[in-house]
Every structure is written in structure tokens, then in C-alpha cells.
Structure 1
Amino acid sequence: MLLFVSVSFAGYGAVLYAKYRIAPAVLPLVLFTGTILILFFGGVLNVLTETTYVLFGGGLLAFCRAVYLFFRDRSLFSGMLSPGVVFFAAGSIFFILMLQDEIFLHYDNFSHWGLIVKELFQSGSLPGESSIITYTTYPPGSALFAYYIVSFTGFSESMALIAQAILITGALTPLFLFCSWKQPVHAASALFIPAVLLLVNSSSIFSLLVDPLLGYIAAAAVITAFYYRNDWKMMGILLFPMLSALVLIKDSGKIFLAFTVIWVIGLLIRYLWKYGGGWKETIQASLWSIGWTILFPLVFNLLWSRYIAEAYETSEYEDSKFAITEETLTDIDKSPEFIDQLLPMVVNAGLDFSSPLVQGMVLADIAALLTVIIVKATAKRMPLALLYTALTANVFYVIYIALLYLMYLYLMPQVEAEYLAGFDRYQSSVVIFSTGIIMVFTIRALMEHAGRSLRSWSTAAAAVLAGVLVFVPYTGEIQAFFHQENSEAAPRKAASSLLTELRQEEPISPNTRITVINDLGDSDRGFLRHLMRYERMSASTFIHTQCSTEKHQEQLTKDIGRSGYLMVIQITSGMQECLEADNSIEVDEPGLYRIEDGTITSTIQTEDG
């Protein structure tokens, strides 16, 4: 079915290209983000399933129409087969093969990002009051795209990962907007850009985390805006789904929306300065830029806020962990000592030259600076677009790090802010964004500088060297990109296997209460709790990872008293002592046990045991 979904998307893309001659490298992202917006509307109107099938069917009809158009005009095919489209097709196939047997291991897949995709698939609607989702204010944008894919392929963790990877590939495709087959070496050098950006947060490809996705889409939006800098109508239409999707993917997407709007305003000033025009033209260009890039994305943000207020009786924006309210801005619940230490901590993390993220940005800046010098020295002109882009990207990076400082100061609990929880993940978004646009404009400047055959080869070599230069710091991330490793997820296989065996042997339902013991002697930070919520799609599982205090003992006894089954993943003598008062048999090894009236009565024999 994935093939038919691909055909449906291809149908829409081919018809749009045939009718409007939109740059082919932009089409995948426009279609994917447009799909997110349409599905979101369907979800708000409570017709998500119907919207899904109408979209799919419309794409198949569009494909039939495209076949007719392309046979009538064979030049359409060659025009659409740009370097970007080839990259998208090859990248999608690569990720399908790479991720086809992968499963979720990352904590956040179980706490929210994988959970919501499974919830959407099972319910066929946006989450509501009866949902198992706990992070109710998190926007559903990327999850809706994964839902669309798995609606036709059937739900599996590998297919959800593939869906997100295809969305990422679509977001990377506009990086090739300035490439053409006339300069094949330059186009090939552009492959270093997605290679670098994918390695910025290398292990994220095995999760549904959206922080890198924000950077990919924002960089694509900036590049698309520049490409259409003299066609404001087309620019606005193409940016509309991208920027609206940003605010529907994560709240921090609004930061990248602001960055893109600032970029668009700069392009507007350049356009009016360079081409002049009357007041009517000025107003028209301004309205297109403001309406499509600011107004409509904020409308989608408002729709999501209204949906939360109506769908959840007890959940509002103010309930969000990082909600910006009068209380959070006026009451800094942090110690004076921590406040004094926070700014140096954030600055040191943001400028940590031992980090490949910072090294990569610095080397991208160096490559851009060298390109400016080369072009100025040999062509006697200044590559202003590259110069302004590099300066802007670095300013955006500084602003983003400053905003992270404010987040840790005002919004994040001190117990998490003390170790800058999530800093690398948050930082990866802006590094992807800034490094990506710097690299694209560096290669573009070298492509424009190519003239005579000797200069063409020299600039092509320079483009390749620039890509290699920025890629070097990330070579240590290659292993993590191709091989999923997560030591914290070690209990996943055992817990899932025991749950499968229990379902085979006993007539349990999602509401059947189960106590799970994985005796680590310490907390697992909620990993098993979120895992079992994801596996069972209910909150009927009680997790115990230690029994070292009287309070632990009391809670364990209480949970066994209200459970029908006990699942033991790992147990020590200390935990056995805690269970002595609650069992009529010895619980001394991993396995499944029946509980009757608060007493562990028997072992459940499975086919394997």
C-alpha cells in the first residue's frame, strides 16, 4: 500500500507541476505539509478518517490526469526530473530499506510521539478527553502525517519511522533548489548538505522526535522564499503550508516562523529597493508576504488552542509544561545561586567547541567566508546573498540560544534546568537551520561563479571541499545514524515479550490491572510506565523498580492488591522480601504470575517456559 500512497502523492505533484510549473524540489514538502493541514482541518471537524480517504482517492485521480498530461507533453517529464526529485526518490527508498525492521526504543516515542500516532490510528480522530495522551497541548502535526501513511499500510513502528523519514526527506529536498544537471559536480556536492544535517542529531532518525524536523522545514522555507524572491504570489502560496505546519508540529516552531518572517521582510525590502514600483505594488507584495507567512500560520495555531479548550475539559494552554503565562514570567521559582550560574552554563553549552554541532557551524562559516573572498578576488564582485545569509544565520543562532536561556530561567523546573535538560536536542534544531542555509548559499555562490571550463571545475572542487569541511566533525556520528542503540531501553524487549505471552495465555483487556516489577534498585525515570501505556493503550499498569523504603513496600502491596497479574522482568532478594507477605508461592525468577484477592497464587506457564 505504500506504493499506492506514493502514487497518490505523485499524482498531486505532477498535476501541480504541469499546471503551475512549481520548482520540482519544493513539491514534496508542499504536498506533505499541505496534507498535515488538511488532515488537521478534518480532525477538528471530526472527519479525520473520511478526510484521509478523500485525500488518497483524489491523489489517485490526479495521477491518472497526470499520465494523460505527461503523454501529451513529454517535456514535462524531463522538466520534473530535477536533481532534487532524484534525491527525494533515492532518499525515500534508502530510508524504507534502512528502517523496515526497526522498532521504537527512545523514551519519548512511548511518552508521546509514538503514542499519539498509535492513538490516531486506533481512534481515527484527534485526541480528546478519553485519550491516553498526557501531553495534551503538544500539537499533532508530524503525527498526522505518520497517521496518514499507516492508515493505508497498517500500523507498525517501522512504518511510523519510515513515514517520518519520508517527511524529513521531503523537507531536505528544497536544499537542491539551485542545482541543475548542467552543473552535475556542484549538484553532487550538495549531497553533503543533507548528510551533515542528518548527522546533527544522528540518532533521531530512529525516533519520532520533531526538534530536527523544525530545523529542516524552516531551512527549506527560507531557501524557498529566496528562490521565489521576485514572485511574491507564488512565494506566499508555497510558504503557507510549510510555515503553518511549523506551528502544528511543536510550539517552538513559532520561533522558526518568526525567523522566516524576518527573512521574508528582508527580501521584501530588497525587492522594493531594487525594483521600486508604485504604492499599489508595494501594498500587494506586503499583503502577500504578511498574509501567507504570518496570518494563516497563526490562524492554525489559534485553531489548535481552541480545539484543546473544547476537547479537554481539564486541559488548557496554561497546563503545558512550557506555557508562557503571567505567573511564569513574574514568579521565577529558582534559587539565587542557580540564577547566577545559569547564563554561563547556557553560553558555555552554546559555544562548546568540543561539540560537533558548534564545530560544524564554525566550519560552515569558514567555508562561506572563504567563498566570499574567492569570488571577490576573482570575479571582482561581492556575493551579497551569501554574506547576508551567513550573518543572518549566526544572528538567529545567538537569538535562539538566548531564548533557550529564558526558557530554562522562566519555564523549566530547576531540577531539570540544573543540567540543561534537552539542550542538545533543542540546539540541534537551530544548528540544522543555520548550518543548512549557510551551506546551500555557499554552494549556490560557487555555482554562480562557475564560468569558463577551468573555473567551472575549480568551483566544483571548491564546492566539494566545502561540503567535506563541514562534514568532518560529524564523522563520529555515522555509527549512531546507521545503528540504533539505547541502553535505557533494555527492558523493552523483555516487557513486550511477557505482555505478548500474557495476552496469549489469559483473557486480558486494556483495563486489566497488571503490576510490573523490574528491580533496578533505582528509578527508571518512568520508562516502563510510558512503555506499558503505549503497549496497552491504557493506564492500568503499575510499575515498581525498587523496594528500599517502607513507602515503596506499602505502594507495592497496594498495587498487588488491585491487580490480577504480576509481571516480573528482573528481581533481587530485596524485592523478594517485599513480596513475602503477598504471595503463596515463591516469586524468585522472571515470568508471569496470577494474583487472586491480593495474593500471588500461581505461575502462568507459557509455550516458551
Structure 2
Amino acid sequence: MLMFLRISLWLFSFWGLQKGIQRLGKIDSQLSYFFTACSIILCLYFGAYLQALAIVAYFLLISGILLGILAFLDRKNTMLITFSVESSLLFIYFVILVSVLWKTNLVHYDNFSHWATIVKFLVTQNRLPDSMDTIISFTSYPMGSALFLYYTTKFIGYYEPILLISQAFLIFTCFYAFFACLKDRTRTLFIMILFTGIVSFNYFNIAIRMDNLLVDFLLPLIALASISGLSALRSRPIMQAIYFVATVGVLGIIKNSAIFFVILVAAYYLYLHLTKESKCSTRTHTLLHFLLPVIAAVLPSRLWSWHVSHHFTQSKHQVNLSEYQQLFQEKDASIRSTIHEKFLHTVFSFDTLSTQGIILTFALLIISYFVIRLYLKRQTHLLRWIVIEALIVFFYYLGIYAMFLFSMPTQEAIVLAGFERYASSIVFFCLGSSLFVLVRTFDDLLYEPVFAKRTYRSFASLKSKQLYQISTLLLVFCSLLLILSETNGILFTNKTYDTTIPGQFQAINADTMELNQSRYLVVSADKSSVDSYLVQSVGKYTLFSPNVEARENFIMDDKEFNALLSQYDYIVLLDDHYTFNKMIEKLIDHPLQPGVYSVTKLITK
């Protein structure tokens, strides 16, 4: 019951903030939810630098509650919550997903190496990490999405399902913003095209899925939501500039690699400026109106770079030309050739999921182009967009290729570690942006071009109306199948959770929210998980200590074994490790069950 009350209070507060922003900015609800989430992140971000992270969080929560109460008391609000076709579809989708995520725990390696660990640190410490906080390994990673998860778990409670639902909530605010790009929101077919595109992301999202906190899925969604809003606000330059600063500012602090998507959104913003300025405006004025918001939007990411350079001497994945040069020199000609051949083979293989997504995107664009030109005999700019999409894909893949050569260790580079995860980001962006273009293009081709005159009879013939209705129903059916596919995939992962390393830690109740410096030795018979540092990463996150080591090999004499144990404060036994228990029996005359044991008590026995 207490959990339900906390969730209800948080949702009411967010709704209150959204209502306040919607009224103040006079923007549609499709954009106001996403804009509110971005505003919360930026407020927390700047508050963290002022050593007031918790204070700002409480201020936002209380302000949201007060604004929500005012919205209820305002008699002008005839409809406190408006329901449309798109919002209803997304709400149903979100409820289905939440019902699954509510019983889901973190499993993916990267959750424990950084994304969940940083949220846990923020919740317990209420500040940004510095050089003394060795629990955080990837210190160059910005705080963007982690701050939103912090804001949620700070008041609802730190639970892994809440983390996942909070991330999904942020993602769905992006989805809702997509629909702002529609010219006519009464056309159900166009709504279903976008919604089917959204749920089709699940098919290409297998490498990431929505049951983890990784941001490779979030990056293109924020970029698309930003583009959709910029398009919808093109007649309101001041609000458009504010929206650009907020959304791109957040995009830049999600991850360092977000710079590619920042450039794409900025390029679109420049395009809007160049095409909407009046004839009396000079190029200087146009560039000035464009550059000022861009400078403001990149300030958050520049501020983070300053923070990293002044508080950390060295950081994983930090931009360092000397480090890049060293990693490149470690790869001789044969290794570079192997990477090159494997990269090309992967990119051009039809078995590669991201390649399938790229092919689908261009197939939709090319088929639509020929239908419009040859069948409908109308003019279209789709060919220009096909060229732009091809350039975007080319430069993004070039960036991935350079990453394997310059910034990735040799052992990971030769197997193209994480390729599918990185490549899927551009699939989401290209597919989503292409759907934006297609729905707007086909809207211009409708029988009745004037929105105000469109009714249920606004069709060229009865046959075209039947085709419209059948297409809509088919998209509804396809969307349902894709949603079930995603939820079933998560449910399947949940069934095997107890056998995973995170599941083994949970089984022995080793989790703590108190940051400590105790020394832990984690014992596991799973050699591959120990060698891949999975056990160590999960241990650091769960035990909340930077001094965690994992070991599988205990073939040693008694003296070495005793010396090894004396280096630690606690032993964490995850499973029935035969060799370890045989060695420990010499100290306490009986084997240990999985659990956490004080080394001092074991030795004194």
C-alpha cells in the first residue's frame, strides 16, 4: 500500500509539472510530457553542481504537487486528462509493459558496470561522484538518464523494477512526442503507422531490450522526439528555441556518443531556420538566431567535460587522443585487416539484425517513392530524403568502424563487441525519421487537402475508404503481435533469472544501500562469468563497495589459502563450490552454504 501511495504521489507531481509547463508554454500534450522530463533532468543536473541535488528534487516534487492541486481547482480545466487515439494506444502499451517489468530484475552486464551503479550512488549520496568515489568506473559518462531515475527512486524507493519502469516512462514520453509531427491527428491510419513503427523497434531492440538501463535505445528516441517537436513548433520561434535548448541539452548529457545525434538535430534546426526566415531577414540574423540556442544547448555537456577534467585524473571511455593513438598502435596490420573484413562482413550480412532494419527503412522509402511518382503521378521529395538517410547511415557506420580501430581494446575489437547494440541506434533513428517523412508526405496526398474539411466521407471512392480501414486494422494486428513478442522475450528472461549471477546474489540477500570500503572475495564456480568480470561487477553493485574481487580457482595449499582469506573482510559464496568448500573444511570442519561470511569469524573458528 505504501508503495502504491508513493507511486501515485510521484505521478501526480509529474502530472502537475506537466500541466504547469503546458499552460506556461502553450504547447501540446504530446510535447509537454517529454519537455517536462527534460526540464526535470536539467534542473537536477544544475542543482547537482550547486551541491543541492536532493533540495532541487524535493522542490520539483512539491512544486508538481502544488501545480497539480491548482490544476484541479482551476475551473477552466474541463478535461484534466485528455485521451486521444495515440495516447490511449501508448497507455495500453505502457500498462502491458509495466505488468511485466514489475517482476523483472537487472541482468545485463552494463547495468552493473555503470548504469544502475551510478543511480544507486546518486540516491544514497545525493551528489556527483569525484575522484575519491572509486565505486564509479566510467566517470566520463554523463548523468542524463541517471538523474531521471534518481528523481523517481528518490521518492518511490530504490528497487530494480522501479528503475526499469522509470526508464520506460522516460522512453514513452519520447514516443508520445513523436505524434506531434503529424499534420492531421484525426487520421487514424497515420497514427497507426507511427505506432506500428514504435512497437517494431522491439524487433530490432533485442540487443538492448527494455528490461535494462542502457541508453543506446534512448539516444535516438530523444533525438527523434526533439525533431518532432521542432517541426511542430516551427511557427513559434521562441518556444522552438527553448524546446531545442532543453531537449538537445539533455541529449548531450545522456552519453558521450550522443554528439552524432546532437549534430543531426542541430542540422534539422538550421534547416528550419533557413527555410522559414522572411525575405527581410539577413543571413547574419538567421545564423544568430540559430547559434544562440545551439550554444545554450551544448553548455550542459561542456560543463560535464569540465567536471570530469577537474575531478578525475583518468577515466574509462574518456576522450583522450594519446589513449586512442596507443590503442591503434597495439593493432598491427593483420589485426586491422581482420577487423576490417569482419566489419564489412557483418554490415553487409542479411543475418545481421541492424542490416535488416536499414534495408527495411530504405525499402519503405523507395517503394513509397515509386508509388507516388508512377501510380499517383505526383511530385515528391522522398528521393532527396533517401540520399540524406544514406549519408547518415554511412557516417554513423564509419564512426563505429573508427571506434573499433581507435578506442576499443584489441580483444574486444576483433570480435566487434557490442556492434549490434551500437548499430541498432541508427536503425531506430533512420526508421523513425523516415516514418515522420512518410506520414507527412502521404498527408499531403490525401483526397481532401484542407484539414478543416476532412470528415469520414473525405475519400476519393468507397474502395479507397475500404483500403484505408483495412490498412488500419492490419497495423493494429501487427502492433499487437510485436508488443506480445517484446513482453514474451522479457518473461522468458525472467524465468532464468535465478540461475544468473545477479539472481545468485539476490538469493543470499547480499544487497546493501550503504556505501562501504569493506574488502569482499566473491567465490563462484562459474569460470566464464568470473573471467568476464561479470561476477565482480555485480558484486560491486550489490555489495556497494569498490573493493570486490571474484575468484573461481582455489587449487592451492593451506598456507596460500589462509593468506588469501586474510586479505579480505568478507567471503561471499554464490554456489556450491567444491574446491573452496574442501579447503574451508580444513578451517571449520564443515562446508559453507551460499551466503556472506565474516573472514574474522571463519579464521577464529
Q: Give the TM-score, by structure 1 length.
A: 0.86
Partner residue in 1 for 2:249: 244
Q: Aligned partners of 1:471, 1:286: CA distance in 2, in Å?
A: 46
SS at match of 2:574: strand
Match of 1:309 in 2: 309
Per-residue CA deviation, residues 141-174 of structure 1 (Å, 9 max, x unaligned), is 1010001011111111111111100001111112
Give the Cα separation in 2 of the matches to 1:514 and 1:305.
33
* Number of the residue aligned with 2:102: 100
**By how many angstroms is 1:85 displaced?**
3.8
Contact map agreement 2:100 2:487 (CA 8 A) in 1: no
The answer to whether residue 194 in structure 2 is matched with residue 187 in structure 1 is no
Match of 1:515 in 2: 521
Structure 1: distance between partners of 2:393 and 2:477: 22
Matching of residues 356-367 of structure 1 within 5 Å: 356-367=353-364
SS at match of 1:286: helix
CA distance in 1, matches of 2:285, 2:258: 27
Q: Which amino acid aligns with 2:412?
A: E
Q: 1:543 aligns with which of 543, 550, 556?
A: 550
1:56 to 56, 61, 78: 61
Instruction: Give the secondary-structure state (helix, strand or coil) at the position aligned to 2:217.
Output: helix
Q: Distance in 2 between matches of 1:158 and 1:226?
A: 35
Q: Which amino acid aligns with 1:28?
A: Y
> What secondary structure does 2:329 align onto?
coil
What's the CA shift string for 1:393-425, capped at 9, x where partnerless?
332111111001111111111111011111111
Q: Distance in 2 between the 1:438 and 1:481 partners?
A: 28
Say which of 119, 128, 140 aligns to 1:137: 140
Match of 2:379 in 1: 382
Corresponding residue number in structure 2 for 1:204: 209
Cα distance change, pair 585–372 in 1 and its aligned pair in 2 (3 A): same
Partner of 2:437: 441
Deviation per residue, 1:549-587 (Å, 9 max, x gap): 89xx9875444113344333334544456557x624243
- How many Å apart are 1:529 and its aligned residue? 1.4
Give the deviation of 1:329 after TM superposition.
4.0
Distance between the aligned counterparts of 1:472 and 1:347, measured in 2? Answer: 33
CA distance in 2, matches of 1:419, 1:394: 26
Letter in 1 for 2:304: W
* Equivalent residue number for residue 605 of structure 1: none
Alignment of 1:37-48 (within 5 A): 37-48=42-53
| Separation of aligned partners in 1, 2:387 and 2:478 | 19
Measured in 2, the distance between the counterparts of 1:435 and 1:375 equals 19
Contact 1:585 1:601 in 2 (8 A): no
Are 1:271 and 2:280 an aligned pair? Answer: no
Contact 2:520 2:548 in 1 (8 A): yes
Secondary structure at 2:339's aligned position in 1? helix
User: Which of 1 and 2 has higher RCO (CA within 8 Å, sep 6+)?
Assistant: 2
Say which of 152, 156, 160 aligns to 1:157. 160
2:57–2:151 contact (8 Å) kept in structure 1? yes
Take 1:102 and 1:285, find their aligned partners in 2: how far apart are those partners? 50
Instruction: Select 1:458's aligned residue among 448, 459, 467.
Output: 467
Q: Across the two proteins, how many residue pairs are aligned to each other?
A: 580
Q: Does the CA contact (< 8 Å) of 1:139 and 1:249 recur in 2?
A: yes
Tell me which of 174, 178, 190 is aligned to 2:177. Answer: 174
Match of 2:537 among 530, 533, 536: 530
Shift of 1:135: 1.3
Corresponding residue for residue 494 of structure 1: 504
* Of 409, 414, 417, the match for 1:418: 414
Residue identity in the other structure for 1:140 = M
Secondary structure of the 1:257 match is helix
Conservation of the 8 A alpha-carbon contact between 2:498 and 2:504: no
User: In the alignment, which residue of structure 1 is the partner of 2:3?
Assistant: none
Given residue 532 of structure 1, which amino acid in structure 2 is its aligned partner?
Answer: G
Pairwise CA distance, 1:109: 1.4
Given that residues 190 and 467 in structure 1 are in contact (C-alpha distance below 8 angstroms), is that contact kept between their aligned partners in structure 2? no
Contact 2:338 2:414 in 1 (8 A): no
Partner Cα distance (2:504, 2:85) in 1: 45
Could you tell me whether the CA contact under 8 Å between 1:11 and 1:63 is conserved in 2? yes
Cα 1:240–1:27 change in 2 (3 A) is same
Return the letter of the residue paired with 2:288. L
Q: Cα offset for 1:333?
A: 2.2
Identify unmatched segments of 5+ residues in structure 2.
1-5, 448-457
Structure 2 equivalent of residue 355 of structure 1: 352
SS in 2 for 1:543: strand
Q: Give the distance between the partners of 2:242 and 2:345, measured in 1 at CA.
A: 40
State the Cα RMSD in Å. 3.3
Mapped contact 1:324–1:411 kept (Cα < 8 A): no
In structure 2, the residue matched to 1:399 is 395
Structure 1 position 228, deviation (Å): 3.1
User: For 2:387 and 2:481, how far apart are their aligned partners in 1?
Assistant: 23
Task: Check conservation: 1:446, 1:462, Cα contact below 8 A.
Answer: no
Secondary structure of residue in 1 paired with 2:10: helix
List runs of 5+ in structure 1 lacking aligned partners: 603-609
Length-normalised TM-score, structure 2: 0.86
1:540 Cα deviation after fit: 4.0
SS of the counterpart of 2:103?
A: coil
Contact 2:510/2:596 (<8 A) preserved: no
Distance 1:436 1:422, change over 3 A: same
| CA–CA separation in structure 1 for the residues paired with 2:474 and 2:303 | 47
Instruction: Summarize the Cα distance change of 1:381–1:106 in structure 2 as closer, same or farther, 3 Å threshold.
Output: same
Counterpart CA distance in 2 for 1:231 and 1:444 is 19
Q: Percent identity?
A: 21
Match of 1:299 in 2: 299
Q: Structure 1 residues 47, 297: closer, same or farther in 2, change over 3 A?
A: same
Question: In the superposition, relative to structure 1, how do residues 410 and 97 fare at CA in structure 2: closer, same or farther (>3 Å)?
Answer: same
Between 176-185 and 532-541, report the one with greater CA deviation: 176-185
- Separation in structure 2 between the aligned mates of residue 169 and residue 554 of structure 1, nearest angstrom: 57
Query: Residue 339 of structure 2 aligns to which amino acid in structure 1?
Result: L
| Contact 2:167–2:213 (Cα < 8 Å) also in 1 | yes
Distance 1:205 1:432 in 2: 14
Query: Of the candidates 413, 427, 435, which is equivalent to residue 423 of structure 2?
Result: 427
In structure 2, the partner of 1:607 is none
Q: Contact 2:195/2:479 (CA < 8 Å) preserved in 1?
A: no
Residue 319 of structure 2, aligned match among 317, 320, 323: 323
Residue type matched to 1:138 in 2? Answer: Y
C-alpha distance in structure 2 between counterparts of 1:215 and 1:108, whole Å: 19
Whether contact under 8 Å (2:19, 2:71) holds in the other structure is yes
Comparing 191-200 with 246-255, which one deviates more in the overlay? 191-200
> CA 1:350 to 1:483, structure 2 compared with 1: closer, same or farther past 3 Å?
same
- Matches of 1:466 and 1:366 in 2, distance apart? 18
Q: Deviations over 1:515-571 (max 9, x none)?
A: 321123453411221222112211344321223589xx9875444113344333334
SS at match of 2:351: coil
